[in-house]
Amino acid sequence: MNESVAYLGPRGTFTYEAARSLFPEEGYQLVPCDSIPDVLTAVDQGEFLYGVVPVENAIEGSVTLTLDWLVHHVQVPITGELVYPIAQHLMIHPNQRELPLTEVKRILSHPQAVAQCSGFLREHLPNATITYVDSTADAARKVRDHADESWVAIGSSTAHQLYGLEMVAESIQDYHNNFTRFIAVGKSWTHPHSSWEHQKTSILVSLPSDYPGALHQVLQSFVKEKINLSRIESRPTKKKLGTYYFFIDIEEGNHPRMKKAIADVESWGCQVRQMGSYPCYDYRKIKGS
């Protein structure tokens, strides 16, 4: 049997597109899950070899559900990254194609997608109520299943085709260059593509206590080894107000200088969890490979 890959479904989500690029359907069995926690839990429990989830968007920032679930609920290494272009489209049931935008009653989509289009929605659909659902394709499917409702969905062109909807407006996100970073997770280490652009390492750091310069000391450990960090994101520890974990992305693989820098961070009393060292793929180069 083909190796199985769980993704945030149903078919037609942006995560489905990213998963298809990373794990071509000829060699892998792609299985939709209802939510990001479902994908991560299923991989953690060994039901699937790999999982694909969104982690960060260029307009809206972190997908906090993914970060928090990785920190608090599962122990699954990150094994790959793909940055994928995102065009959000507004679509409606064909029975409602004549409906003026001002008469649309409900907009359905994923919170990330709604946030990426907030300016457009404010301007063109000021009278509609927003209903958040688990994914953009879930929104498209619900619009398909409610032919008599004056609802619209925001989602991908794949969802538009799969669910037989009518296109109302294309690329409605508020900024050009909309990209989402997706990660592959899994406990095994084989890779569907042989060529990648560069490697990254993600770590999670918790400070021993809050004192002036604590975070500065952590960063200094990487400066000393001339290691470039590409992202720092703080998330609440959920144990006490004002205490945080720091997600740090490092633009290098796990080589001796990296090990030295991490050992230095630990010597300050910080706890470091290595989330993974992994290849970063370019969607233009792996498409159809």
Ligand X SMILES: O=C(O)C(=O)C[C@]1(C(=O)O)C=C[C@@H](O)C=C1
Indicate the residue among 104 and 114 with the shorter CB distance to ligand X. 114
Indicate the residue among 63 and 152 with the shorter CB distance to ligand X. 63
CB of 52 to ligand X, least distance (A): 9
Cα–Cα distances (Å) from 267 to 244, 253, 260, in that order, read 19, 21, 10
Mention every residue, 6+ apart, whose C-beta is less than 8 A from residue 223.
Answer: none
C-alpha span between 188 and 269 (Å, rounded): 31
CB of 113 to ligand X, least distance (A): 4
CB of 84 to ligand X, least distance (A): 8
Radius of gyration of the chain (CA): 21
Contact residues: ligand X, CB under 6 A: 8, 13-15, 54, 57, 63, 86, 110, 112-113, 135-137, 180
CB atoms within 10 A of CB 199: 16
Q: Given the DSSP bridges, would you call strands 151-155 and 106-109 parallel, antiparallel or unpaired? A: parallel
CB of 177 to ligand X, least distance (A): 13
| Chain Cα centroid distance, residue 279 | 16
Indicate the residue among 9 and 192 with the shorter CB distance to ligand X. 9
Phi-psi region of 269 (alpha: psi -120 to 50; beta: other; left: phi over 0): left
Indicate the residue among 96 and 112 with the shorter CB distance to ligand X. 112
Indicate the residue among 86 and 227 with the shorter CB distance to ligand X. 86
CB of 228 to ligand X, least distance (A): 25
Indicate the residue among 118 and 243 with the shorter CB distance to ligand X. 118
